[in-house]
């Protein structure tokens, strides 16, 4: 190849790949915009509170942060807002064993944080982080689920409770709840937790009475 040929190859070759780079960058920017909902002033305010208390010193979000505490990217998908608010303002009032300290978060700050976390949960992360495998959260591996167990799974109780070592730790372990509570207490508590446990952070169960009854029977079988 002549000198001139080599020079042309260098210039046009570089130009060609530069144009491809620009096109791909534009394409990516376009896609990123669509992966996240609009950032409102409230979301922004929530992010400021997130920084103020250095939540990332213990938690991860989108994979960034510390691995001391659970990832917060999709937290509002499996924990209702009322619960989150109570937990944020006073973790140990919700869960006496909580390792998260009471940080002094005000009611207004908690609302803002939840708005931010809700926005975060809506960001399309291609299914990340993977959902924990809670499949047979009933100690009935291999066996057919009872009606009550099915209600338990459908309502996502295992996001917060553990039965036989499977489930979350936000609420008490209910592996033996059947020997602690009776039918009336369980049914009533499901319909209105705060009437039975002052300031309870458990969300009232929204299901038909028939389903709640089956859930109660399942609880009574946990001894």
Closest to ligand HEC by CB, 188 vs 193, is 193
CB of 196 to ligand HEC, least distance (A): 7
Q: How far is the CB of 47 from ligand HEC (least distance, A)?
A: 11
Q: Which residues, in sequence order, are CB contacts of 62 under 8 Å at separation 6+?
A: 73, 120, 123, 125
Q: What distance in Å separates the CA atoms of residue 54 and residue 74, rounded to the nearest whole number?
A: 18
Closest approach of Cβ 193 to ligand HEC, in Å? 4
Cβ nearer to ligand HEC, comparing 125 with 173: 173
- Shortest distance in whole angstroms from residue 33 CB to ligand HEC: 26
Given CA atoms 13, 16, 22, 27 in this order, what sign does their dihedral have?
Answer: negative
**Nearest CB to ligand HEC, comparing residues 13 and 82:** 82
| Residue placing its CB nearer to ligand HEC in the complex, 105 or 166 | 105
Least distance in angstroms from the C-beta of 204 to ligand HEC: 9
Nearest Cα to Cα of residue 120 among 23, 55, 175, 28? 55
Kindly report whether the peptide bond that precedes residue 129 is cis, defined as omega within 30 degrees of 0. yes
The half-sphere exposure of 215 on its side-chain side, counting CA atoms within 13 A, is 24
Contact assessment for residue 155 and residue 207, using Cβ atoms and an 8 Å cutoff:
yes
- Cβ-based nearer residue to ligand HEC, 36 or 220: 220
Interface positions with ligand HEC (CB under 6 A): 53-55, 57-59, 68-70, 72, 75, 79-80, 83-84, 87-88, 91, 94, 98-101, 103, 105, 113, 152, 155-157, 159-161, 170-172, 174, 177, 180-181, 186, 193, 197, 200-203, 205, 215, 219
Q: Which of 117, 153, 151 is nearest to 136 (CA)?
A: 153
31 vs 102 by CB, closer to ligand HEC: 102
Beta carbon of residue 151, minimum distance to ligand HEC (angstroms, whole number): 7
User: What CA–CA distance (Å, rounded) separates 103 from 83?
Assistant: 17
Q: Which residue has the tokens 């990123």?
A: 32
């Amino acid at each position: 190849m002549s000198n001139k040929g080599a020079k042309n190859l260098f210039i046009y070759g570089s130009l060609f790949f530069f144009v491809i780079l620009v096109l791909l960058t534009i394409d990516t920017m376009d896609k990123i915009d669509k992966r996240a909902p609009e950032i409102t002033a409230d979301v922004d305010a929530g992010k400021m509170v997130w920084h103020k208390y250095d939540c990332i010193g213990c938690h991860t979000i989108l994979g960034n942060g510390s691995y001391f505490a659970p990832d917060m990217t999709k937290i509002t998908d499996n924990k209702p807002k009322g619960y989150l608010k109570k937990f944020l303002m006073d973790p140990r009032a919700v869960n006496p064993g909580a390792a998260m300290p009471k940080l002094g978060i005000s009611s207004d700050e908690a609302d803002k944080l939840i708005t931010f976390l809700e926005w975060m949960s809506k960001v399309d992360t291609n299914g990340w982080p993977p959902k924990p495998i809670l499949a047979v959260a009933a100690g009935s591996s291999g066996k057919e689920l009872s009606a009550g167990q099915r209600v338990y799974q459908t309502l996502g109780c295992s996001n917060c409770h553990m039965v036989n070592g499977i489930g979350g730790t936000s609420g008490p372990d209910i592996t033996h709840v059947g020997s602690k509570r009776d039918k009336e207490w369980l049914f009533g508590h499901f319909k209105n937790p705060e009437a039975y446990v002052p300031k309870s952070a458990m969300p009232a169960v929204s299901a038909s009475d028939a389903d709640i009854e089956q859930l109660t029977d399942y609880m009574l079988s946990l001894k």
